[in-house]
Amino acid sequence: VRIASFDFPESQVVAELYALALRNAGIPVEVLSGLGTREVVAPALEQGQVDLVVDYAGSLLDYLGGSAAETHGQPEQVRAALLARLAGHGLTALASAPAEDVNAFAVRADFARQRQLTRLSDLRELAGRLTFGGPPECPTRRYCLQGLQQTYGLRFAEFRPQPSRGATATALESGEIDVGLLETTSGQLGEGRLTLLIDDRNLQPRENLVPVVRKEIVRRYGHRLTAPLDAVSAMLTTADLVRLNHIAAVNPVEPAEAVADYLRITRR
């Protein structure tokens, strides 16, 4: 079973966590770590070049043409809409995890205190003088710069692409950028130097983790495949994602090693 991950650390670590469950069930696994963005991974999955990816429900549903009402529903409603969209692509979605990682926008904690910033709406009068940092694809994403412009009316003075979330956090702390795209589970948030602004106009969708797998692979392995994957999803919480990301951020190691460290700490 070929498991792909996106090109950022959390996705790579999560892929290794699910891969370990399959290996423990006696299923041979190959992990294609950091394959790319959804525009790369989703077609690879549909074309059979990979077999499984642990995706983020709302963003995937949006990619497949889901409506705002669908992407912002309760987790099981989002999954039901996702199943309907995936049906024609030879794919299915297994059980969603309670764990959710939502795009979030951060500023330096001292800057937030000085300007009394708590919400994204508070940036309205400042944005034209601020530099924004995030992934290169951010200007074309509904839940990044496009959404900030359309939902909040935020137009920044400059956009500086960042190669990773870690680089975004570093650029924020150094003052290279003023606002940056991170996630609600970013390991870099544990130091207290950065502050996430509240998404007070509900731009972001529900983003529960959900394994998306080719139906052919489900037919081949059946319960041997779905049971261990569902078991991981059932136990995986947002707090677990924060711990995994913190381990990977504080002591950078290979994703599989980060999972091993996490399991040793939690004894799972």
Q: How far apart are CA 53 and CA 90, in angstroms?
A: 14
Contacts with 196 (C-beta within 8 Å, 6 or more apart), sequence order: 104, 105, 106, 182, 184, 189
Share the mean pLDDT of the chain.
93
Tell me the pairing of strands 103-108 and 194-197: antiparallel
Does the pTM exceed 0.75?
yes
In tens, the pLDDT along 83-142 reads: 999 998 999 999 999 999 999 999 999 999 999 999 999 999 999 999 999 999 999 988
In tens, the pLDDT along 48-75 reads: 999 999 999 999 999 999 998 999 999 9
> Residue 244 is which amino acid?
L
pLDDT at position 264, please? 84
- Residue 267 binned pLDDT confidence (cut-offs 50, 70, 90): low
* b/e map 247-263, b = 16+ CB within 10 Å: bbbeeeeebbebbebbe
Q: How far apart are CA 241 and CA 248, in angstroms?
A: 11
